[in-house]
């Protein structure tokens, strides 16, 4: 509907085209009319500012201060919020409630994370990883000294993380051994996957030959090395292998080859057998 106060739709679109508006064809007549009014108002204000005489000297400097003071205040408020921001309410290592004795670590971005100091010390001494558990940011010697002071003030009788850091060669050996165990576990897991493929294959004769000639000896060797270096870890891995061979409850393994029981019997024997005399140094 056309009124005296509002031009026709074609006229409005023509004005919008002249003013360089984009995406105006999908607008209704009232929306387009309001958009043109806003753009015209902005243009009038811009022209008025351009025609104003420019102030010089102190007036210009004062104008700049008045114009940008709120930006500076906004940045300061943001910085203050970041400095006071605590990102956790539970211990990031054990996922338990924070106790009365915590260590406060400030990250480079300004966020603050709290750790139960006893848990943090035990984690560092057990893993030999002298960095924050979540972000892997390396702890400096000053921070490690602060952790020791916090633990001592809390009355915890535990080792010093700073002294442990200064004896890092010991933890490097532990890391080498741990990496070696992980490598053995992964290789043994690949052999177990090959067992599962043979079980689900219909060619039982070829599968039996592969089990006897290749798969079983390879697994026995890898698992024996794993067991000789860390029996407890090897036992946990063995349970996972058995569960993997059985499959999930809603989709158990289909014994196409008839070799499922043979594989399970072999796995039981490897769990009971003595480990060979091989160790990772």
Distance CA 98, CA 120 (A): 12
What percentage of the chain carries pLDDT values higher than 90?
50
Taking the whole predicted model, whether its pTM rises above 0.85 is answered as: no
What mean pLDDT comes out for the span 218-232? 93
pLDDT at position 220? 95
pLDDT at position 202? 79
102 SS3 class: strand
Distance CA 175, CA 171 (A): 6
pLDDT at position 54? 58
Q: Which element (helix H / strand E) includes 54?
A: none
Give which of 186, 198, 191 is closest to 255, Cα–Cα.
198
pLDDT tens digits along 100-152: 999 999 999 889 999 999 999 999 998 888 999 999 999 999 999 999 999 99
Distance CA 255, CA 257 (A): 6
pLDDT at position 50? 79
Distance CA 92, CA 114 (A): 8
pLDDT tens digits along 157-200: 888 999 999 988 888 888 888 889 999 999 999 999 999 999 99
């Amino acid at each position: 509907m056309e009124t005296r106060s509002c031009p026709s739709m074609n006229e409005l679109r023509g004005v919008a085209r002249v003013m360089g508006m984009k995406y105006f064809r999908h607008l209704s007549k009232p929306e387009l009319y309001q958009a043109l009014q806003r753009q015209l108002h902005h243009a009038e204000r811009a022209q008025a500012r351009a025609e104003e005489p420019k102030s010089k000297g102190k007036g210009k400097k004062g104008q700049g201060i008045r114009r940008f003071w709120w930006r500076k205040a906004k940045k300061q408020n943001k910085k203050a919020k970041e400095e006071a921001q605590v990102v956790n309410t539970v211990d990031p290592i054990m996922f338990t409630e924070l106790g009365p004795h915590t260590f406060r670590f400030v990250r480079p971005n300004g966020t603050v994370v709290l750790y139960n100091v006893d848990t943090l010390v035990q984690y560092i001494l057990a893993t030999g990883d002298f960095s924050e558990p979540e972000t892997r940011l390396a702890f400096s010697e000053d921070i490690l000294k602060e952790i020791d002071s916090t633990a001592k003030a809390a009355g915890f009788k535990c080792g010093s993380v700073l002294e442990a850091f200064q004896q890092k060669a010991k933890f490097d050996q532990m890391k080498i051994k741990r990496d070696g165990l992980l490598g053995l576990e992964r290789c043994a897991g690949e052999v177990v996957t090959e067992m599962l493929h043979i079980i689900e294959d219909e060619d039982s004769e070829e599968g039996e030959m592969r089990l006897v000639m290749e798969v079983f000896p390879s697994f026995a060797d890898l698992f024996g090395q794993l067991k000789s270096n860390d029996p407890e870890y090897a036992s946990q891995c063995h349970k996972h292998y058995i569960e993997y061979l059985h499959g999930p409850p809603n989709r158990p393994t289909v014994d196409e080859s008839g070799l499922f029981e043979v594989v399970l019997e072999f796995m039981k024997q490897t769990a009971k057998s003595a480990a060979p005399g091989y160790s990772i140094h």
